[in-house]
Structure 1
Amino acid sequence: MTDRVAAITGAHGVLGRAVVEAAMAEGLKVALIDHARGASTPHGALELSGIDLSDAAQARSAMETAAATFGRLDILLNIAGGFVWQKVDDAEPAWDRMFAINVKTALNAARAALPWLTQSPGGRIVNVGSAAALKSGVGMAAYTASKSSVHRLTESLAEELKDTPVTVNAVLPSIIDTPANRKDMPDADPSRWVAPADLAAVILFLASPASRAMTGALVPVTGRV
């Protein structure tokens, strides 16, 4: 058992649920932050639903509540995000939406959590980028541009915080094995994709004391794709 506290955004998505399970298995106290409400809240966890993290004030309120409930905040796991496949000339561009749910959520959550993370002896921020953002493709411009911004945010914030105990890293998954991806790609072999539990394990390593020598890292987690 540990007294460390983790705020997990996007906690009720497929990856978010895997991260929550892994965090609680390690004995972390967790605050589940999401716009949606989950089907159930794990025993001992703090449920903060209806939170729009693209709104800085709501992000700040969520982190204040988490820190007040547990008396501290040591870890921020920015799992919130989304994907859209869309060509550049689409009649209803999704660029604003991609940047809102992928970049602004991570930025606002980090800014809101920093007053507590910098007071922790092992403050950690872990973001979710994307391997696809290293080289984009057809229909991927809005999504990969937003995830590339998450990469740059990770690197810049890591540099800004080098005089503090806080480390900032990101995982760069390829295709994650989710029900939505299986539906969209019925002919693919999902055993070659990244299992949510495996990605969660990497995220929890980056949130652990063992990762103290790593900051500003963009860690590929690409399965067998």
Structure 2
Amino acid sequence: MKNGRTVLVTGGTGGLGTATVAAFVADGWRVVTPVRAGSADRLPKGAVPLVADLTDETEVTRMVQEAVASGGPGTPLRAVVNLVGGFASGPLIADTPYAELEAQLAVNLRPTYLVTRAALPHLVEAGGGSVVCVSSRAALAPFPGGAAYSVAKAAVLAFSQAVAVEYRKHNVRSNTVIPSVIDTPANRAAMPGADPSKWVRPEEIAPTILFLASDASAPTSGAQIPVYGRA
């Protein structure tokens, strides 16, 4: 560790997550990543895994406290990166039950809200820091059959904006990355007929996330940064 700072990265075992964790490790951060039981081996070398269910408020609070305490005063929590999310599409709105919207909010907004909420007092105590959220181009440009997903990702945007407004005086910034389709194994499997060469690669998104978490972006808060592919 070179910079004496801790970053908490959720979704660290996913396609975008592994690239992001690796970028922070390479930059000298202490990287803590909550994982599901049995999945810690999928993390890049150098990350600190903590088992937690990010939909459970009690577990999230415990995990954040452990992440801070285990780092000690020499590596305070200075950034939170919210990558956890999920995708689903289906019929048009009239044929989509409300439960599907709730399910998308639960997987996309709930972890982001709970983790950020638990981490904010620690960021304030450390003198400030950065929250980075990941939404989707679908939040700005919905597509037929994806209303629940689009609404959930739009909620992430609104939440990040709220954090930026409420915590500006506490020197805590909040910004959102808005990628198009990400070139991950899961997306390739889900869309076998698509051309992944037009998608954005995780390695192209990770530097933007790292920048938003770092002091280099200190004047920036409330931004919504598009990171699109070639289509």
Instruction: Give TM class, smaller chain.
Output: over 0.9
Q: Counterparts of 1:91 and 1:106 in 2: how far apart (Å)?
A: 23
Q: 1:58 offset after TM fit, Å?
A: 1.2
* Worse-matched range after superposition: 181-190 or 154-163: 181-190
8 A contact 1:122–1:209 mirrored in 2: no
Q: 1:44 offset after TM fit, Å?
A: 4.4
The aligned runs of 1:36-115 (5 Å cut-off) are: 37-49=39-51, 51-71=52-72, 72-87=76-91, 88=93, 89-90=95-96, 93-115=99-121
8 A contact 2:199–2:229 mirrored in 1: yes
More helix by share: 2
* Residue 129 of structure 1 pairs with residue 131 of structure 2: no
Instruction: Classify the secondary structure of the residue corresponding to 1:47.
Output: strand
Instruction: Classify the secondary structure of the residue corresponding to 1:17.
Output: helix
CA, structure 1 residues 35+92, in 2 after alignment: closer, same or farther (shift >3 Å)? farther
CA, structure 1 residues 70+64, in 2 after alignment: closer, same or farther (shift >3 Å)? same
Q: 1:187 offset after TM fit, Å?
A: 3.1
8 A contact 1:10–1:35 mirrored in 2: no
8 A contact 1:16–1:79 mirrored in 2: yes
Q: Which residue of 2 aligns with 1:203?
A: 209
Runs (4 or more) in structure 1 with deviation over 6 Å come to none
Q: TM-score, normalised by structure 1?
A: 0.94
Length, aligned pairs only: 224
8 A contact 1:34–1:80 mirrored in 2: no
8 A contact 2:13–2:35 mirrored in 1: yes
Q: Which residue of 2 aligns with 1:190?
A: 196
Output one character per residue of 1:165-192: Cα deviation in whole Å (capped at 9) or x when no partner: 1100010000000112222323322122
Percent of pairs with identical residues: 40
Match of 2:182, as an amino acid? I
Q: TM-score, normalised by structure 2?
A: 0.91
Q: Counterparts of 1:121 and 1:26 in 2: how far apart (Å)?
A: 21
CA, structure 1 residues 16+41, in 2 after alignment: closer, same or farther (shift >3 Å)? closer
8 A contact 1:73–1:120 mirrored in 2: yes
8 A contact 2:18–2:43 mirrored in 1: no
Instruction: Classify the secondary structure of the residue corresponding to 2:109.
Output: helix
Output one character per residue of 1:23-80: Cα deviation in whole Å (capped at 9) or x when no partner: 101010011113352324555432112x221221111111000000002211100011
* Residue 20 of structure 1 pairs with residue 24 of structure 2: no
Q: Counterparts of 2:27 and 2:197 in 1: how far apart (Å)?
A: 26
Gaps of 5+ in 1: none
Aligned partner (choices 138, 141, 158) of residue 144 of structure 2: 138
Gaps of 5+ in 2: none
